[in-house]
Amino acid sequence: MSKNGNGDGSIYKDKKGRWRGQVNLPSADGKVRRKYFYGQTRKEVADKVAELMSQIKSNTYVEPCKVTLYEWLCEWLEIYCKPELRMTTYVNYELYIHKHIKDSIGRYRLSELTTAKFQQYYNEKAKNGRLDGKGGMNPKSLRNMHNMLHKALDQAVNMDMMLKNPTTYAVLPKYPKKEMRFFTVEEQKQLQEAIKGDRLEMPILIALYTGVRQGELLGLKWKYVHLDLKGESYIRIVETINRVKNTDPSIPTKTVLVVNRPKTTHSMRTIPLLPNIARRLAEYKAEQERIRKEKGFPYNDYVFTATNGMVLDPRDFQRDYKLLLKRNGIREINVHGLRHTFATRALESGMSPKTLSKILGHSSVGFTLDTYAHVTDELKAEEMAGMNEFL
């Protein structure tokens, strides 16, 4: 859409006695097009004419776009995003566009969108944004949706479909900080005792002593594991496995397992293994290979597999983990809580926040400190108490 042209404006009264303003619009094809303004006073119309002529003369005029936000998001997702996005992100974007945006703010034309409209939309989603009608949209999901909208409308601005991005100055509502759930030292000991000899023993131990995310844990392959029982052992986080909504009509299931690269470069990392964990992992590998040969399973390079030798499904892992906790009378904390437990123990043991941040794959030390403020606050109090000896 052209932004070029000088524009001529005129103001007069029409046959009905109304003040009317007229501006000739810039045109790439040479055809004359005009925009009209109406108002109760000459000044009201003159201000509108002056604003438009100023935009035309400064090359900032953008012809009002008739495409709706929903239509643009669908086009943007398929043409500009799909080739680059991880499947999990693509599926999430589809959900935001078709389930959250389509029948609400998605009905507005791009030319009608304002910061105020987005602010109102975000405020409403924070209060009543869940698809099941049971309260506000998850804070992380709302932020991810906002980031998606911002990217899509930046693209629209770059393509001269809009003058500016209306999401830039919209403010996401503040949520009460969610309580972080992790195992206490005693609960962790109880859990480690309960998993001895269980099929989930090794994946739970790896999660507890490396802090990997569930998708990283289940996506771990032996080729990314280095075991040196006389030296340094480590794992490399290179792939993830997640179950996502199926978007392929040729596949008859609602969800599919997807292998991806980690979301960010920070997430692709090397994590050292404690000697005892490395030894147990080596024993686990030998036992896994023995069972594979005994049962005739085809070779599978995944470290953690199901009873049939295939990749361990996240859905099955979560179910069996939950049942294990219940069976042993251990407080229910989700799989991600194993990661929080690792981080909490690491800080309690004196690991520096910078080192922990790298191990966890966080984008910054600041994010790590903010996430685990409950631990650092306790440690600060304990260390300050040590100053008493100087009084």
Report the pLDDT value the prediction gives residue 314, as an integer from 0 to 100.
96
In this prediction, residue 232 carries a pLDDT of: 94
More confident site: 287 or 31: 287
pLDDT of residue 48: 86
In CATH, what number does 69-158 get? 1.10.150
Distances (CA, A) of 367 to 189, 269, 305, 363: 28, 17, 33, 7
pLDDT in tens, 303-325: 999 999 999 999 999 999 999 99
- Name the range with the highest mean pLDDT among 112-116, 162-166, 170-174: 112-116
3-state secondary structure of 37: strand
Tell me the pLDDT band of 86, cut-offs 50, 70 and 90: confident
Position 293 pLDDT exceeds 60: yes
Q: Is the pLDDT of residue 150 over 50?
A: yes
How would residue 28 be classed by pLDDT, with cut points 50, 70 and 90?
Answer: low
Q: How far from 298 is each of 16, 286, 287, 293, 295, CA to CA, in Å?
A: 85, 16, 15, 8, 9
Beta bridge partners, 10, equal 22
**Helix, strand, or coil (residue 242):** strand
The structure tokens listed for 169 are 């100055």
User: In this structure, are residues 332 and 262 in contact, taking their beta carbons and an 8 Å threshold?
Assistant: no
Between 63 and 141, where is the model more confident? 141
pLDDT at 195: 98
Tokens standing for 97?
């566009």
Residue 325 amino acid letter: L
Q: What is the pLDDT of residue 4?
A: 37
Report the distance separating Cα 211 and Cα 356, nearest Å.
Answer: 9
Inform me whether the pLDDT recorded for 78 exceeds 60. Answer: yes
Partners of residue 33 on adjacent β-strands: 25
Q: What average pLDDT does the segment 240-244 reach?
A: 93
* Average pLDDT over all residues of the chain: 90
Of the candidates 215, 184, 233, which has an alpha carbon nearest to the alpha carbon of residue 340?
184
**Percent of the chain predicted with pLDDT > 70:** 93
> Regarding the domain with residue range 185-384, which homologous superfamily does it belong to in the CATH classification?
Intergrase catalytic core (1.10.443.10)
pLDDT score of 1 more than 50: no
What's the pLDDT score for residue 7?
47
Per residue in 246-275, pLDDT (tens digit) is: 877 888 888 999 999 998 899 999 999 999
CB 26 within 8 A of CB 7: yes
Separation CA 361–CA 371 (nearest Å): 13
User: What is the rounded CA–CA span in Å between residue 328 and residue 192?
Assistant: 11
Of 285, 290, 258, 259, residue with least CA distance to 273: 285
Which of residues 2 and 144 earns the better pLDDT score?
144
